[in-house]
């Protein structure tokens, strides 16, 4: 093998190796876990596949959103913007997850089971009161 052919083969191998490592490193979504209904209770939606098909199904007067994933059959509350407040999601069976939202960025609660039951998202600001979404 002449020196030019050897250099080209070495360069080609290096490029192929670099490309394959980039491909493997660029798949963090595959690390997301899955859950369904009661298995989702207490889990962070951002670390599951539940965030992939989630949609906002209701919003209250404070801007608190009720998020729902049909794949996971789970719900959670999300808040972005606005003053510091307490945000929670609750079901008609008494399940509840809450967070204190400082008013910076976007925050969300852990999920609750929403299979065969209904849920709503609520927010409370001291001195202003509470507001909840409709039940979904």
Given this model, what pLDDT does residue 31 score?
57
DSSP state of 119: E
Residues 23 and 89 in one domain: no
Which residues of 24-133 form beta strands (DSSP E)? Answer: 55-59, 65-69, 74-80, 85-91, 96-101, 106-108, 112-113, 119-125, 129-132
Residues 27 and 40 in one domain: no
Given this model, what pLDDT does residue 122 score?
97
Given this model, what pLDDT does residue 102 score?
84
Q: Name the domain count of the chain.
A: 2
Residues 22 and 40 in one domain: no
Given this model, what pLDDT does residue 101 score?
86
Parallel, antiparallel, or unpaired for β 74-80 and 112-113?
A: antiparallel
Residue the block writes with tokens 């660029």 = 26
Cα(128)–Cα(12) distance, rounded to whole angstroms?
65
**Tokens read off for 85:** 């407040």
Cα 58–Cα 44–Cα 40 angle in degrees, nearest 5: 80
**Tokens read off for 90:** 């609750």
Cα(80)–Cα(65) distance, rounded to whole angstroms?
9
Residues 48 and 85 in one domain: yes
**Tokens read off for 134:** 């409709």
**pTM as predicted:** 0.75
Residues 14 and 78 in one domain: no
Segments forming the whole domain that contains residue 41: 35-132
Q: Tell me the pLDDT of the chain (136 aa) as tens digits.
A: 554 444 434 444 444 444 444 333 434 444 578 999 999 999 999 999 999 999 999 999 999 999 999 999 999 999 987 678 999 999 999 999 999 988 788 999 999 999 999 999 999 998 889 999 999 9
Cα(53)–Cα(42) distance, rounded to whole angstroms?
19
Residues 4 and 66 in one domain: no
Cα(91)–Cα(117) distance, rounded to whole angstroms?
7
């Amino acid at each position: 093998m002449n020196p030019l052919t050897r250099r080209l083969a070495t360069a080609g191998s290096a490029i192929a190796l670099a490309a394959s490592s980039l491909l493997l490193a660029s798949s963090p979504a595959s690390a997301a876990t899955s859950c369904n209904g009661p298995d989702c209770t207490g889990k962070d939606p951002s670390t599951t596949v539940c965030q992939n098909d989630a949609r906002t199904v209701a919003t209250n007067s404070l801007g608190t959103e009720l998020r729902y994933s049909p794949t996971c059959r789970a719900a959670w509350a999300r808040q972005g913007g606005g003053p510091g407040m307490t945000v929670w999601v609750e079901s008609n069976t008494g399940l509840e997850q809450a967070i204190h939202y400082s008013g910076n960025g976007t925050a969300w609660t852990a999920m609750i089971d929403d299979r065969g039951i209904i849920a709503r998202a609520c927010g409370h600001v001291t001195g202003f009161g509470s507001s909840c979404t409709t039940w979904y």
